[in-house]
Amino acid sequence: MAMNVREELIKEASRLTREARKRWNAHENNQSCRQARDRALAVYEKLSKKERNELPEVLRVWLRYRSEKYFGKGRRGNGMSSKSSQN
């Protein structure tokens, strides 16, 4: 039995988020990690609220909150604390 398009999007969002987390945990905090996260977020944004809740919670939390802390639009530079550059 074939999956419908929405179920495939849910699986793809989970797969891409796992890939981004794997790269993050391997300290590949470079362009490849950012690209994987951006692809995961793009698929995640296409899902309805109900569909988003079908993703494992740990993936949703990492994608929405933790990764935003490090990869968010306001982030720049090499990830060093901005406090050190203010001295």
Instruction: Please state the domain count of the chain.
Output: 1
Q: Which two tokens stand for residue 52?
A: 């988003």
pLDDT for 87: 46
pLDDT digits (tens, 9 = 90+) for 43-75: 999 999 999 999 999 999 888 877 666 666 665
Assess if residue 24 is contained within a domain. yes
pLDDT for 25: 86
Cα–Cα separations (whole angstroms), residue 71 to 7, 11, 47, 76, 80: 27, 23, 21, 8, 13
Residue range of the domain that includes 41 = 5-71
Assess if residue 20 is contained within a domain. yes
